Structures are given as C-alpha cells and as structure tokens.
Chain A
Amino acid sequence: MTQKDAPPRWDRKMQQRLARGEAAALGELYDRFASLVHGLAHRVLGDERAADGITREVFAHVWEHPDAYDPKQGPLRSWVAALTHRLAVQRLRATETAALCLDESGPGSAEELERKVRHASVAARADYIVHSMPTPLRAALELAYFQRRDYRQTAADLGVTEDEARRRLRLGLQLLSTAHDTGAPPGYGGAV
C-alpha cells in the first residue's frame, strides 16, 4: 500500500478526484481502505457475506457522496472507519431485530440486543485501535501477546531497552483500553 503521500494532502486530493468522477481514484481508495472496511464490518457482523455487503455500501456511499467528507474534520481513514462502523451496526440491529420478532422472546431480548451491539462496537473499535496505533506499539503487543515473549525478550527482539519495551506495552494497552469508553451513545454523532 502506498503511504508516502501523507494525509491530509492525500485525503484532500482523493476527495477532489472522487468528486471529479475519476474511476481510477475509486480503485485507489479501495486499495487503501478495503481491508480496514471489511475487517471492521466482519468484526461487528461476524459474517463474511454480510461484511462484503457493508464493504459495497461503504464504497458506494463515498463514491456517490464524496462531499460528505470534510478534510478539516479529520483524516479520511477515520471517517471511512466511522462510516463502516455506523453501517455495520445498523445492519446488526436490523438483522437482530428481525430475529427477535421471529422468536417472540421475553422482555430481556431488547437488552440482549443492546448488549450484543455494545459488545460488537467495542470489539470493532479495539480492532481499529490496534490497526491504527503506531507500529512500534503494535509490534510490542504482538510479540508479548501473540508470540508470548516476556518484555525482556520483546525488548531484545525490537532492539530497544527494557524500559522502552515496558513503556510500549503499557501505552499500547492504554490506547486499546479506550475501546471501552463510550461516553456518548455508541456511534458517530448519534447516528447509530
């Protein structure tokens, strides 16, 4: 993936090209964000085909409404992530509500649905945070968690001091823990 063109310049130019109706720009947008979009949708919905569907919706939305993104509000990447999250949670609510109507469960079901939505939201946010955190932090977490290296081995693997390894692990987890923070109702601008 090409990352030399650091945003916001890339974001701004991309938006202009999409607005101009340049099909090649749409392809580049897909190449940059498809795995992020599909991954988040899959985390929320837990289903490959549903995630494919959300991916189609997200790119169609950006292509049809390139002006909906305002570069002043932040990077295109987070806007795309927020859009994905919103559409995926909408889909989750719709399918779960339909399932509820079918099986006539008790009054606890609505709470159950909210719990499920909240859980999926936190998981998707956590994915996004891991995906987006600075590489040194992610690399440290990967070694310590997935490779089961202790922090001294992690330090040696990364070629940093033990202090630095401890710092990265702690900071990485601090960032990740913010996935639980839902001060506002889950979603973006209350859109969910």
Chain B
Amino acid sequence: MSGPGGFEAYDGHAGFEGRYGSGFEGRKETDEFDGPDGTGGFGDSGEFDDSEGFGNSGDSGGFGDSDGFGDSEGFGNSRDSGGHGDSDQFGDSDDFGDSEDFGDFGGPDEPVAGNGRGGDRERPPRIPMPRASVEDSGLPLPRLDDLPPVPLVLPHDVLKSLLGAWALAACSAAETAAVEEHLGTCGACAEEALRLRGAVGLLHQPESLDLDPTLRTRVLDGCLDRRPPRIPVPGWAAPYDAESARLDALLQDFGDAEWHAPVRLRWFEGNGTMSRRTTVAGVIAHLLSVDGLVAVALGLEDPLGDPEAEGARGSAARTEAFWRASRFPPTRSVRVPWREQSHHLVRTVSFTGGSTGALAVPYGDFTLPLHDAMLDRAFECWVHAEDIAEAVDYPYEPPAPRHLNRMIDLAARMLPAVLAARRREGLAAPGAARHLVPAGTPGRTLRLEIEGSGGGEWLIPLDSPGAAGSADHEVAHVALDGVEFCRLAAGHVSPQEAAAGQGGDREAIRDVLFAAASLSRM
C-alpha cells in the first residue's frame, strides 16, 4: 500500500478523523495534499512548518537571553562543539541519547533542566576583553578538536523543527540537550513534545501483513450467498479471478530485491526442457503480455503498443517483444498494469461471457475458445506464481480443488490434439496406421486418473482428436497426483521423471506423458 495512493488515503484519514472531533487542526494541512493528481503540494517544505494545532508556539520569552544558554552547566558534561556530527561521536551520548531518560518529564510547567540563571552573579563579564588574534601571534593555530566545548545554541524555529526527531530519539546528543533545555522554558514546545512523544508509543511493527489467501473466496462466497449477483463472474473465469488475486497478494510486500530476483522460466519443447532467464518483474511482464491476447480478443486495450504487437502473435513472441520494447528491464511498475488488466478481463467476461463464450482467442499457432483461454491464463498465473514464490523462497499453495479440477480438465481435453501434432512431427508413434477411426466413434483410449483434491478420471482418445474416448477400448492407464500432473503440463517436471503409476501399452503412456509436457510453452 504505497505510492500515490497514500494521498487518497490521507484524505480518507481526515474524513475518518473528522468524526472524532480532532483537537489537532489537521484539516488545514490535509488540504495541502489534495493536489489534483494526488502528488501536488507536498514538495513545498514550507507548508507545514507552522503547527497551528499546537497553539501559541511563538518565541517563548527568555530565549533571546543568551545567558540562559551560554552557561554550559545547564548541559551537563556535553563535549559537543558543533552538534553537526553523528551522535556516536560523543563519548557521553548516553546521557542524552537514550530517550527513555526523558520519557517522564513533567510537562510544560516543570522544567527538565535548570537553565543556569542562578549562577549569574558569579559569572565573569559577558563581553570578553579584546585580545590579540591567534593568527597575528605567529603561533600555530589550535586544532579544532582542542577547542573548549561550546554548547549548542539554536534558534527557536530550529528547536521547534527538531521536536519530531527528538521524540523519536533521532537527533544528535547536543541537539537533544538543546531541545530539552528549551522545553523547560517554552510551554508551547513542551506541550507539543509531550504529544509527539505520546505518538511515538503508537508506532509499532505490523504483526502480520499476510492475509490468509483462502479468506478472499470465503468472504466473497459469503457475500454472494446473502445477495446473489445480477452479473456473476462466470465459473470458467473464477479460477483466473482467484489466481490473479493470489499472485497479487504474494507481490504485496515485495521490495526491490524481490522484484529483481532471478527467475528461470522453464517449458518443454520437442523432447527436451527449454528455459529462459528473467526476473520476478519480467515474469509479471510476461503474464501481462500474454493475458493481453485475451484482452485484444475482447476488444480491450493491448498492453503491447501497436508497433510491438505487430507480427508478435504467440505467447513467447509477445513476451520477447514486450521485454524488447522497454529500454530498461521490467520493474515493480509492471504490477499495476498487470493487475488492472486482470481486473478488466474478469469484469468484461462477466458482462459478455454468455454471448462470447465461443469467441476464439488466437495464440499464434493455435486458438482457444474464450472459456478455455481464461482457464489457460489461470493455469499460467498459478504456474508463474510458483516460479516467483520459489525465486524468493515463499511458500505457495496449489489452487482451490474446484479450480484445479477445471485446469486439469482443460489439459486433458487438449491432449488428443497435441498428441496428433506430435505424431505429425514424428515425435509420437503413428497411431492411425494401427487403428483408424472415423470422427466421433470410439477408439483406443488411455485412462488418465488424477488423484488428490481436484482430481478425477479422463478418457483420452489416442488415435485422433476427433475420436471419442471409451472405457471399452482402454489400452493403458496412468495415475498421477493432480499437482504433479500440472507440473508436468507446465514443463516443470519431465515426462521421464513424472511420478506416475502406469499399466498397459507403454508406448501409448509415453506418448501421452510427452504430449502433456508439450502443453507447456514459455
């Protein structure tokens, strides 16, 4: 929750606060943040210097009298000569550095430190007698370090401006001493100091920023039960809605180190694993570019500009074009456009889903119906979220079972076509020669049994994409865990390594496992 949104939020704060009847006149200052683009006003450092809310903070009497401050007794054993260094350089910084020592000062009427007035009578004359300059004496100049300690004398404005840093124990020892000296004589500053010190106590490290990722579904389902939506999110778009929200939550607290963490994208092509190096931000750019295929099909804006999109049809080509088009590697700034596009997709398919279900989304060398394209994007979103989680060493759970089931179903339905394509390329055993079947009639079948939540059974026709799977014609049986099957289909596990129970025609099993891996792409 950072970025310009803070301004909007701040505005919100005033509304929130206003109901309480604030003693602090924050509203005046709030207006300074209300620039039209949410960023105006802040740069002007003069705007806030006057804390009207704290009343009469004008110069307190007595400050002008240098006697009160000229007496170094009032500062104790401060050896500071300039007060411009880091507090670490003062041997006696403990005397002042630890803010707790002053936590209980009694308020405006109770001075925290004597200002040394009592010693006036004993003092030497204030105006020193003229003396010869060292420069004229021919003697070596004293080193600066050897100068006697000069207590820090600061104008009232500066002391007042130091109150925040003082309350946070974030000024030098000498400044701390000067502020505390001042608090004894200036009621307005003492009052503000007390207030700011109290505010420090309200700061605390947020305990847990991570929301339970399953809470979103539970909350939304609960709402929709109580008031059924007039415009629901279609069931086939729900996995994409859920997966993009989960990934966005993962990205929530990423710092620059995480955004630039290296990620290796892996997929399966032909008979081997391919990979491409990028970063976490590069992965989000990849999702943005490829989700853009669906956006374009729906008539939404293409995240790739016209020139980049020209000639880049498939997912890899679009991603490479997107990466090439920006002069610098992708940064965290890619998150907002990705998230906005994902929200727009869900919203648009909710309105048009019924009529555009048959709309074909072109992926370059193949097309998918909109329903399946949204499932495909949900699957990719999860797979790449896992890549990202692995890169930054975060845990990441599989999708909800009912969503996982739809993703597996899509993969199972795509297998026959991929199998046929591999056959044409000579990568799979020729099926037609053995048992040619007309479209729609049953042919040799592999039974794919997916275990675990989200699982089920699918009959995969082996001879042609048009054939119907049939239990009577089963020649082989493969059993896999659902998440393992998805890793295979994502190209993250090789067909040889996939932990699959199997029985029957070994060649058919090999061909189907390789076809499953070939579903993956960059």
- Residues of chain A touching chain B, judged by Cβ–Cβ distance below 8 Å, are 1-4, 6-7, 20-28, 30-31, 34-36, 38-39, 42, 48, 52, 55-56, 59-60, 63-64, 73-75, 77-79, 81-82, 122-123, 125-136, 138, 141, 144-146, 149-154, 161, 163-184, 186-189
Q: Which of A30, A128, A176 contacts B219 (CB 8 A)?
A: A30
B196–A174 contact, CB under 8 A?
yes
Is B211 positioned at the interface, with any CB of A under 8 Å from its CB? Answer: yes
A56–B222 contact, CB under 8 A?
yes
Q: Which of B4, B22, B48 contacts A178 (CB 8 A)?
A: B22
Is B164 positioned at the interface, with any CB of A under 8 Å from its CB? Answer: yes
Chain A min CB distance to B472 (Å): 43
Name the B residues within 8 Å of A169 (CB-CB): 164-165, 167-168, 170
A150–B86 contact, CB under 8 A?
yes
**Smallest CB-CB separation from B237: which chain A residue?**
A24
- Tally of contact residues, B, Cβ under 8 A: 90
- Residues of chain B touching chain A, judged by Cβ–Cβ distance below 8 Å, are 1-24, 26, 29, 33, 37-38, 42, 45, 48-49, 51, 53-54, 86-87, 161-165, 167-168, 170-172, 192, 195-196, 198-200, 202-203, 205-209, 211-212, 215-216, 218-220, 222-224, 226-233, 241, 245, 248, 252, 336, 339-340, 343, 346-347, 350
A3–B336 contact, CB under 8 A?
yes
**Smallest CB-CB separation from B88: which chain A residue?**
A150
20 contacts between A and B (CB under 8 A): A1-B252, A2-B339, A3-B3, A22-B229, A27-B220, A52-B218, A64-B223, A78-B15, A132-B10, A133-B9, A150-B170, A151-B170, A168-B164, A171-B164, A174-B195, A176-B199, A178-B20, A180-B195, A183-B20, A183-B23
A7–B8 contact, CB under 8 A?
yes
**Smallest CB-CB separation from A39: which chain B residue?**
B206
3 closest A-B pairs (Cβ-Cβ)? A183-B21, A170-B164, A21-B230
Name the B residues within 8 Å of A75 (CB-CB): 8-9, 11-12, 15
Name the A residues within 8 Å of B15 (CB-CB): 73-75, 78-79
Measured in the bound complex, the distance between the Cα atoms of B163 and A177 in whole Å is: 13
Chain A min CB distance to B25 (Å): 10
B231–A21 contact, CB under 8 A?
yes
Measured in the bound complex, the distance between the Cα atoms of B207 and A20 in whole Å is: 37
Q: Which of A42, A129, A166 contacts B164 (CB 8 A)?
A: A166
With A21-B230, A34-B216, A170-B165 in contact, is A154–B16 under 8 Å at CB?
A: no
**Smallest CB-CB separation from B13: which chain A residue?**
A132
B19–A189 contact, CB under 8 A?
yes
With A3-B8, A24-B241 in contact, is A179–B202 under 8 Å at CB?
A: yes
Name the A residues within 8 Å of B168 (CB-CB): 141, 144-145, 151, 169, 173
